[in-house]
Amino acid sequence: MTNLSIKNMLESSENITFGVMSSGYVFQAWQANCIHQLMRNGIIPKLLILDANAQPKKSFWQKTTNYLNRKGLYHLYQRLFFRPQAKETVDLKEQLAAVETIACKTSRKKFSEYFSDDDIKVIKNHNLSFILRFGFNIIRGEILEVARFGVWSFHHDDEQKYRGGPPGFWEIMKNDPVTAVILQRLTSKLDGGIILKKGYFKTITHSYSGQIDNLYFETSSFPLQVCKDILNGQAAYFNAAQSLTRAHVYKAPSNMEMVNFSFKLIFNKLLFHHNEVYHPEDWNIGILSKPVNEVTKNPVPTEITRLPVPPRGHYYADPFGFIQNEKLNLVFENYNYRNRKGIISRVDFAEGNFGKIQPAIAENFHLSYPFILEEEGQLFCIPETAAINQVRLYKLDQETGEFHFHRTLLEGFPAADPTIFNFGGLWWLFATHQRQSNTKLFAFYANRLFEPFVPHNNNPIKVDVRSARPAGTPFFDGKNLIRPAQDCSETYGGRVVLNRILTLNPDKFSEEEVGFLEPEKNSKYRLGLHTLAGVGNFTLIDGKRFKFDKNNFKFMLRKKFGKFID
């Protein structure tokens, strides 16, 4: 299906309309969220396709034996302890009162369900753009082609690793740091759909309910995003080949597996809280006397000159810089665990020596990631100011060496690590949303730096904990623009991934991984690296370790046990 044919198909109707397969008007909360997002954006529900197949009723004895068989502990856990918000029920009868319905009884052949010719004819007459499958089981036959863009279905796992189910479960069991979610157009081949959207999330190992809420709620916008791609003529992925996978087919866990799973959850939860209390992050900054293109040729940097160890209770991170008076000037986050706030500090570096660290920007809210930009002969800093839901531009005062607030670039968006660059004749602002700061990448653009930035037509442009969050200054490798990004799959700021931008315009974005930069192996700060900034013949990086801090210890104890302490 080419972009031209997609456009022609849309011209055959005034709007994108959709149908929903369900068992009634009661939906799970995440499903209701999908439908609400579509409706709020003018995507019109036109038909409810209701499952009219008789549901077998279990006797008391059957229900009892269900908890006594080899998978009984899993069913008991689901009934007594499993309470994700995503699966709470929402009645949409009032919102969908005007939507036509059709009750369908399917015929069953082996493990598949087939719709009758009469029902197919009725559904066809509604001229639907697509159908969301929130009901029925494995469906096959003509129903898969009855809507112009097919039947769309979620699979809340990486289809290349985990087929079957339960969703998001086996990643915890197998210590897989990443859990994927796909929205696919179903085909006649089981586990062989056409991938429409795919996102990668950090596995929440200490809470299965939290894992499910994260996967289900954070991908409920996928159908809307596909609709936007269709409207913008950017849905060429409908032409893609079917997904091929030989992944193992998983099923509900046995009683022994559930025992192991329960102990694993308890251990992971204790470890999570232990690390928050006793092992906060401790960062420091390094300088390499090489241009960034040279540094990135080697996946592990060497010959690093590090800033002196920060004072107790502080760390230094997110280095950027500029050249002034033939000296390298570093600006960076100076974080204080006592007040849980960062300021932007500055220090010069010349002939292997550092000057005195001085404040560059201080506010009554947290600051970090002081991205440096030169425009019209002036130096500017765009620090992270997500705490006040703004992206702010600060201008350098050449005499004092401080940056002063100049103007607001973006209002009402809590941007994490805002990064600005010029590409394709436009100014682009990339950042992740603070709520999913390691996973969801958003883009905004403007004709000039000092004009208002407007959102990309299909935000978020990337959902991938492995390479979404910005990690420093984009740079050219000779032919291509390389965007450094954080790999947060194993740990926050684990390493820097180098992405080559392939396509970037107001409607479409694509990039591919071309390399990475690991932390220095023999350094004290070998457990993370999340900033890469080129400044002339210098390259700035940071490094992470974990170190006990008494101020963090007190804060976390009060946060976790405050009601008992007070």
pLDDT digits (tens, 9 = 90+) for 360-390: 999 999 999 999 999 988 999 999 999 999 9
Euclidean distance between CA atoms 91 and 85, whole angstroms? 15
* Res 9 pLDDT > 70: no
The residues pairing with 411 across neighbouring beta strands, listed in sequence order, are 390
**pLDDT band, residue 399 (cuts 50/70/90):** confident
Give me the pLDDT at residue 86, please. 98
Euclidean distance between CA atoms 228 and 234, whole angstroms? 8
Cβ-based neighbour number of residue 170 at 10 Å: 21
Distances (CA, A) of 287 to 302, 432, 566: 10, 26, 45
pLDDT above 90 covers a percentage of the chain that reads 87
* Res 8 pLDDT > 70: no
pLDDT digits (tens, 9 = 90+) for 453-490: 999 999 999 999 999 999 999 999 888 999 999 999 99
- Strand (E) positions, 277-367? 281-288, 305-306, 314-324, 327-336, 341-350, 353-354, 358-361
At 190, is the secondary structure helix, strand, or coil? coil
Give me the pLDDT at residue 11, please. 43
Phi, psi of 265 (to 5 degrees): -60, -45
pLDDT digits (tens, 9 = 90+) for 274-320: 999 999 999 999 999 999 999 999 999 999 999 999 999 999 999 99
* Res 79 pLDDT > 80: yes
The b/e string for 370-384 (b: 16+ C-beta within 10 A; e otherwise) is bbbbeeeeebbbbbb
Give me the pLDDT at residue 563, please. 55
**pLDDT band, residue 4 (cuts 50/70/90):** very low
Q: What predicted TM-score, i.e. pTM, was given to this entire model?
A: 0.94
* Res 402 pLDDT > 80: yes
Tokens standing for residue 418: 């805002």
Give me the pLDDT at residue 1, please. 44
Q: Which run of H or of E encompasses 468?
A: none
pLDDT above 70 covers a percentage of the chain that reads 97
* Res 330 pLDDT > 60: yes
Euclidean distance between CA atoms 332 and 360, whole angstroms? 9
pLDDT digits (tens, 9 = 90+) for 12-67: 345 899 999 999 999 999 999 999 999 999 999 999 999 999 887 777 777 777 77
Burial label for 124, CB within 10 Å (0-12, 13-18, 19+), is: middle
pLDDT digits (tens, 9 = 90+) for 403-422: 999 999 999 999 999 999 99
Give me the pLDDT at residue 566, please. 47
Give me the pLDDT at residue 12, please. 38
558 alpha-carbon distance from chain centroid: 30
Closest listed residue to residue 411, CA positions, set 395, 427, 429, 425: 429
* Res 98 pLDDT > 90: yes
Contacts of 8-15 with C-beta under 8 Å, sequence gap 24+, read 9/148, 9/149, 10/129, 10/230, 10/231, 12/127, 12/148, 13/127, 13/129, 15/42, 15/43, 15/44
* Res 101 pLDDT > 70: yes
Question: Where are the domains positioned within the chain?
Answer: 3-272, 280-565
pLDDT, mean of residues 195-205: 98
* Res 229 pLDDT > 60: yes
* Res 151 pLDDT > 90: yes
Average pLDDT, the chain: 93
Give me the pLDDT at residue 280, please. 97
Dihedral (C-alpha) 192, 196, 201, 205: value to the nearest 10 degrees? -40
* Res 493 pLDDT > 60: yes
pLDDT digits (tens, 9 = 90+) for 204-214: 999 999 999 99
User: Residues 420, 421, 422, CA angle at the centre, nearest 5°?
Assistant: 140
**pLDDT band, residue 564 (cuts 50/70/90):** low
Q: Looking at domain 3-272, which CATH architecture does it have?
A: 3-Layer(aba) Sandwich (3.40)
* Res 234 pLDDT > 80: yes
What's the CATH code, domain 280-565? 2.115.10.20
Give me the pLDDT at residue 3, please. 43
